[in-house]
Amino acid sequence: MTISIKSKAEITNMRVAGRLASEVLDFITPYVKAGVTTEKLDQLCHDYMIEQQGTIPAPLNYAPPGYKPFPKSICTSVNHQICHGIPGQKLLKNGDILNIDITVIKNGFHGDTSRMFFVGKPSIAAKRLVEITHQAMWKGINQVKPGARLGDIGSAIQVFAESHNYSIVREFCGHGIGKKFHESPQVLHYGTSNTGEKLKAGMTFTIEPMINLGKKDVKEMPDGWTIVTKDRSLSAQWEHTILVTEESYEVLTISDGSPDKFSTKKADK
């Protein structure tokens, strides 16, 4: 496994791309409300990225081997949708939970982040799942430092999530990122501490746990992209792009509207 170590100049570009990705989520927050379609959210984000930021929406027409091109500029995953939801005409309704996943390209570098949103007032179970998933992501992030191992990240997330009787999606994981959307390493959200690749300063990757209220089993929808829970239980996900620094870590996908470690972002009703 060859993991790229970013130069100072590359890290500077990664910081810019990461902040811009997060600022798309800041921008779209007030539009997440009952009665809006996810397609409308996609159009708003697309226009903001192109016209205001001068960024390229990385998901649009992205086609890894075995996949047809992704048709939209953002991913929107609602309720039991785990990831890669394609924005469409279905109206959001009060009580829905929504993940919006943003990846922008600026000056050739990718910034990748996602947040969960509540549409109106969530159920107690939904609110708890979203909050625990947010905390689980930070449990993983807090393991990052030079000399730590990838397994430390996955173990911390898994132990925390399973202690709350939730399950971890196994089929999808975090990933290295830079000039490429997806590069080495794979960052699993489960595993055993003190195993896996050693972390080194200059590595950049995402941590993005997908955690289910029910069982861990998943199913791919006929559109070839959208992944849902097999038992139709709720699923939540948060994502940040992380830089391994000389002493610890830096979260690259932070902006003025980012929820802190101890809170979650509630959309306007």
pLDDT in tens, 196-248: 999 999 999 999 999 999 999 999 999 999 999 999 999 999 999 999 999 99
Lowest mean pLDDT among 20-24, 173-177, 227-231, 256-260: 256-260
For helices 150-163 and 124-141, angle between their N-to-C axes, nearest 10 degrees: 160
Q: What residue ranges define each of the domains in the chain, with the CATH number in brackets?
A: 8-251 (3.90.230.10)
> What confidence tens digit (pLDDT) does each residue in 122-136 have?
999 999 999 999 999
pLDDT recorded at residue 261: 67
Of the pLDDT bands very low, low, confident and very high (cuts 50, 70, 90), residue 262 is low
pLDDT at 21: 98
Which tens digit of pLDDT belongs to each residue from 152-203? Answer: 999 999 999 999 999 999 999 999 999 999 999 999 999 999 999 999 999 9
Give the pLDDT band of residue 264 (cuts 50, 70, 90): low
Percent of the chain past pLDDT 70, that is, above it, reads 96
Instruction: Kindly report the three-state secondary structure assignment for every residue of the chain.
Output: CCCCCCCHHHHHHHHHHHHHHHHHHHHHHHHCCCCCEHHHHHHHHHHHHHHHHCCEECCCCCCCCCCCCCCCCCEEEECCEEECCCCCCCECCCCCEEEEEEEEEECCEEEEEEEEEECCCCCHHHHHHHHHHHHHHHHHHCCCCCCCEHHHHHHHHHHHHHHCCCEECCCCCEEECCCCCCEEEEECCCCCCCCCCECCCCCEEEECCEEECCCCCEEECCCCCCEEECCCCCEEECEEEEEECCCCEEECCCCCCCCCCCCCCCCCC
Percent of the chain's residues with pLDDT above 90? 95
